[in-house]
Structure 1
Amino acid sequence: MMGCPPAAGRRLAAAAALLCLLVASSASAAEHKALLQAAKGDELQGRRHHRHAYAAMMYMGTPRDYEFYVAVRVMMRSLARVGADADRVLIASDDVPRDWVRAMREEDGMRVVVVENLKNPYEGNLGGMNRRFKLTLNKLYAWSLVDYERVVMIDSDNIFLQNTDELFQCGQFCAVFINPCYFHTGLFVLQPSMDVFNGMLHDLEIGRDNSDGADQGFLVGCFPDLLDKPLFHPPENGTKLNGTYRLPLGYQMDASYYYLKLHWHVPCGPNSVITFPSAPWFKPWYWWSWPILPLGLSWHKQRWDDLGYAAEIPMVLMELLMYIAIIAITKLARPQMTKLCYNRRPEKQSALVQGLIKLAGIVALVAAYAIPFFVIPCTVHPIMGWSMYLFGVLTLSLVVINVFQLPPLAVLTAWLGIIGMLFAMANPWYHDGITRILAVVGYAFCSAPFLWASIVRVLDSLQTMLERDPFFPRLGEPAQETEFSKLY
């Protein structure tokens, strides 16, 4: 066997050592680059910390995008409050504002996964207000979260009352039946799988039957036999089940059930999650939903504790200043308003003009009660919202009273009735929901005659005003001062 000379061996050993050093350095650089790329990706989408996740979705294009943004943040924070041991993932469409994404990632601790909106082939089946469900098929992206063993997909109109991590022990698909025939997609458990996800995309392409044109009808078609499956009971040893299961009602309690007893007690399962699948105008975050829906205070308490109302308070203050300015201007302009109402021209107004003036008075009264409702921030705290509404109605009603010379008590009867209705609904001593409903109906029945009398009084006052001297001077003709106006 021939060997290398000693000097050549040393040179060869040195070269080998240098080569190993270069390889190690190159590997270290590649690893460092990979870590930087991973860190960059982690900054964009968030890193997986747990084996399981609670996931919600957000998309744009509805009139209430901001409201659902706030709702998602409150719901996700409520999961942290009940001690959920899982990641919180948001499936966000690529047009969600970047500052919203940043807030949810950095302030709320969510992992944000940005996706493209799935084309809805059933869009033609959506009519009217249901068009807001056009992009709910984005829920299917939950099956693409293959970093997780189980995912609980949830809607933003849920309130978590206690920890529900036992749901991660459920099978490949589990959902709650709050409807006798169809399960509800406001909360369901799934096992992520790219094969299932791609199969669902294929079903969208071929146009699988969909009863409602949204995610509800599509998923019911994917799992048509769920009603016949066994009820989920979490194994005590913590193992995961396989297959599909029905979830007990306590995991998706329709808020409508609450109002029968004014408390929760579902004996066949945990009282864990409240959902609000009712009319979209009565979600728990809207200020006007309380005290019609007392559970709204629970939602706002969570928001107060976690997020506060920093975004809405400046708008409320500006609105308050606007109403104060309107009151001041009305007070200063009142003498001029009176001069408009009394003019010595002898001819009478035509019946058409009188009818238009009376209609203008009625429209002004309706506007005084309607306008404040629409200018208040939708997700402000109910106490602040109702206070601003009542103050706004009072302010605009005073304007109408001064312009049309109406009796104040008659105009403000409905205002006083609203205050009484709030107290009747918010009474904390009702034993159950039936008693509450009967009390509210009784109050409405007793107050209806007063409201009717005030309407008649306002119409009579408008007619009396029109039967006086003509209402307005002719165009281009200077108004003549009367003895009455000189009193001002």
Structure 2
Amino acid sequence: MGWPPASAAAAAAILCLGLLASAWAASAAAAAHGPRALAAVQPQPTTHGGLGPRSRHHRHAYAAMMYMGTPRDYEFYVAVRVMMRSLAKLGADADRVLIASADVPSDWVRAMREEDGMRVVIVENLRNPYEGNLGGMNRRFKLTLNKLYAWSLVDYERVVMIDSDNIFLHNTDELFQCGQFCAVFINPCYFHTGLFVLQPSMEVFKSMLHDLEIGRDNSDGADQGFLVGCFPDLLDKPLFHPPENGTKLNGTYRLPLGYQMDASYYYLKLHWHVPCGPNSVITFPSAPWFKPWYWWSWPILPLGLSWHKQRWDDLGYAAEIPVVLIELLMYIAIIAITRLARPQMTKLCYNRRPEKQGALVQGLIKLAAILAMVAAYTIPFFIIPCTVHPIIGWSLYLFGVLAFSSAVINAFLLPPLAVLTAWLGMVGMLFVMAYPWYHDGIARILVVVAYAFCSAPFLWASLVRVIDSLQTMLERDPYFPRLSEPAQETEFSKLF
């Protein structure tokens, strides 16, 4: 295309700097949040049910599990800590136990044991004979059968097994009065294993291991399908009502819906009101990318802010601070360098020979500009720590988009308002969704849809404006001199 070497070098340097800075921030985020290697530990088979020395006097326990090998290991580590600490703040009269696979990082285990007061049980991962039934989700659910280790906690009379994506609103110690197995039906046909009550028994545990060995039928290849097969008649069992005298029941029971409220119920009314039982525990079984701890879940899901408030009170955000500062400095550097290099970038865009600007070249330049705009809105999303506070996360995202968009605007000489129309639309959408005085979730959805409908013409007009601007730039007569050639004074060039 005949671009001047000096200008091309300047533009290449700017683009390389942006890419390197993005990769640097992403790698820093991974280093801060990714699981660190743990020396290989091969637990002896006899330790399957071992709890080690007992350092408590409780007869009951809340238990959760943690295993490695998914893309979201760190997120679930933070979620488990927040959930277990919330149980302590609610005055739970029970131990808090973590069933951890042997490859969980040692510093995570130490923090949960020493700082959070959990009892950590190290176990071998149970082999999943149904791995072929999991499809594309096998990395996420392959090791969920580790929940069966809850039956090996025979030091306790009752155990409440819980997933890390639960939010406890009230003390639920009355669950320890339930029978040998109790669970909630949030689906008309299958109970949910995000929370269930059990009576530990080595006999039951060994029977379940035998069922795994023979490959008994499993509807989903994970823990829920396996346990539904173990207790197929739970739907016909009576509903659990805790005895007032505090005695324990025997048998199997259905738990009221209020012990495992799907978060989707909340968004219909924007408050909790399940009349058939206590409104005690919220769960997030669907939409795995909208768990409450992700910064982008708020204000899309209002409960995210409540979860982060709880984390702020209990754990803080010390782990994310270095990555946040690195990103902030990176964005400031991009804006500063872009402004300083603008004269060179302007020459890069204008100094072309008309005979080399064919339709294919013009199309490629337009495509490059559109892809650069998409990248400007995409890159900041992926380099922000996933579990940072929503206010910080959205602020970093918007500032990052502004920084990358400024580079695109100056590189392709685009109209700033047209490029930033989507940015302004996002800011408005955040305010619309975060508005706290909606009567119910339906009204909120309708307002969001109306806002999106009204914004669509502006987004389309901005895209047309960007394309027109690119076309005008490409068709403009090249009367600007190259850096290595003397300027040619003409009457027509004075118009420019």
Residues 45 and 446 of structure 1, relative CA distance in 2, 3 Å threshold:
farther
User: Any idea what SS the aligned residue of 2:395 has?
Assistant: helix
**Letter of the aligned partner of 1:210 in structure 2?**
N
- Residue in 2 that maps onto 1:399: 407
SS in 1 for 2:355: coil
SS at match of 1:175: strand
Within the candidate set 297, 300, 320, 1:292 is matched to: 300
Shift of the 45–97 alpha-carbon distance from structure 1 to 2, 3 Å rule, reads farther
Shift of the 150–449 alpha-carbon distance from structure 1 to 2, 3 Å rule, reads same
**Stretch deviating more after TM superposition (315-324 or 463-472):** 463-472
Quote the residue 1:411 is aligned against: 419
- Determine if contact 1:341/1:472 at 8 Å carries over to the other structure: no
SS of residue in 1 equivalent to 2:319: coil
Match of 2:24 in 1: none
**Counterpart in 1 of 2:127?**
119
Q: Kindly state the Cα deviation for residue 461 of structure 1 after the two structures are TM-superposed.
A: 1.1
- Alignment correspondent of 1:186: 194
The AA in structure 1 aligned to 2:384 is I
Q: Does 1:368 align with 2:376?
A: yes
The equivalent of 1:154 in structure 2 is 162
Partner residue in 2 for 1:172: 180
Whole-angstrom CA distance in 2 between matches of 1:391 and 1:453: 23
Kindly state the Cα deviation for residue 470 of structure 1 after the two structures are TM-superposed. Answer: 6.4
Contact 1:45 1:111 in 2 (8 A): no
Tell me the residue number matched to 1:33.
Answer: none
Shift of 1:483: 7.8
Name the aligned partner's letter for residue 300 of structure 1: H
Determine if the alignment matches structure 1 residue 100 to structure 2 residue 108: yes
* Residue in structure 1 matching 2:69, options 32, 56, 61: 61
**Residue in 1 aligned with 2:139?**
131
Q: Is the 8 A contact 1:161 1:271 kept in 2?
A: yes
Provide TM-score, normalisation by structure 2: 0.86
Contact 1:151 1:190 in 2 (8 A): yes
Q: Among 299, 311, 319, which residue is 1:303 paired with?
A: 311
Q: Contact 2:480–2:487 (CA<8 Å) still a contact in 1?
A: no
Partner of residue 322, structure 2: 314
1:335 and 2:343 aligned: yes
Shift of 1:471: 12
Report the Cα distance in structure 2 between the residues aligned to 1:68 and 1:46, rounded to whole angstroms: 26
Mapped to 2, the partners of 1:335 and 1:221 lie a distance apart of 70
Give the equivalent residue in structure 2 for 1:218: 226
Q: 1: distance between equivalents of 2:368 and 2:57?
A: 63
Contact 1:349–1:470 (8 Å) recurs in 2? no
Mapped partners of 1:451, 1:71: distance in 2: 37
Deviations 1:243-271 (A, max 9, x none): 00000000000000001110001111001
1:85 aligned to which of 83, 86, 93: 93
For residue 379 of structure 1, the aligned residue among 384, 387, 394 is 387
The answer for unaligned runs of 5 or more in structure 1 is 1-40
- Which of these residues, 182, 198, 217, is aligned with residue 209 of structure 1? 217
**C-alpha deviation, 1:348, in angstroms:** 3.5
Residue 15 of structure 2 corresponds to which residue in structure 1? none
- The TM-score with structure 1 as length reference comes to 0.88
Match of 2:153 among 130, 145, 149: 145
Q: Partners in 2 of 1:123 and 1:469 — Cα distance?
A: 63
The alignment's C-alpha RMSD in Å is 2.0
Q: Is the 8 A contact 1:57 1:91 kept in 2?
A: yes
**Structure 1 residue 353: deviation in Å?**
1.6
User: Aligned letter for 2:413?
Assistant: Q
1:478 deviates by: 6.2
In 2: Cα distance, 1:167 partner to 1:296 partner: 26
Instruction: Tell me the equivalent position of 1:20.
Output: none
SS of aligned partner of 1:302: helix
Q: Which amino acid in the other structure matches residue 114 of structure 2? A: E
1:255 equivalent in alignment to 2:284: no
Structure 2 SS opposite 1:347: helix
Provide the C-alpha distance between the structure 1 equivalents of 2:480 and 2:441, rounded to a whole number of angstroms: 53
* 2:227 is aligned with 1:229: no
Superposed, 1:449-488 pairs within 5 Å as 449-469=457-477, 480=485
Residue identity (%): 89
1:434, 1:45 → 2: CA distance? 53
| 1:129 Cα offset (Å) | 3.0
Corresponding residue SS for 2:125:
coil
Task: Tell me which of the two structures has the higher relative contact order, counting C-alpha pairs closer than 8 angstroms and 6 or more residues apart.
Answer: 2
Q: How many residues align?
A: 442
**Does the Cα contact within 8 Å between 1:250 and 1:268 map onto a contact in 2?**
yes
Matched position secondary structure for 2:170: coil
Distance of 1:471 and 1:159 partners within structure 2 = 66
Contact 2:131–2:138 (Cα < 8 Å) also in 1: no
Who is 1:5 aligned against?
none
Q: Is the 2:350–2:473 contact (alpha carbons within 8 Å) kept by the matching residues of 1?
A: no
Structure 1 distance, partners of 2:487, 2:75, is 54
Secondary structure in structure 2 of the residue aligned to 1:309: coil
Shift in Å at residue 344 of structure 1?
A: 5.6
In structure 2, what residue type is equivalent to 1:113? Answer: V
Q: Secondary structure at the match of 1:188?
A: strand
Change in Cα spacing, 1:116 to 1:483, as seen in structure 2 (3 Å) is: farther
Residue of structure 2 in register with 1:434 after alignment: 442
Whether contact under 8 Å (1:312, 1:380) holds in the other structure is yes
Look up the equivalent residue of 1:250 and give its one-letter code: G
Superposed CA deviations along residues 29-68 of structure 1, whole A, max 9, x for unmatched, are xxxxxxxxxxxx98x7763431000000000000000000
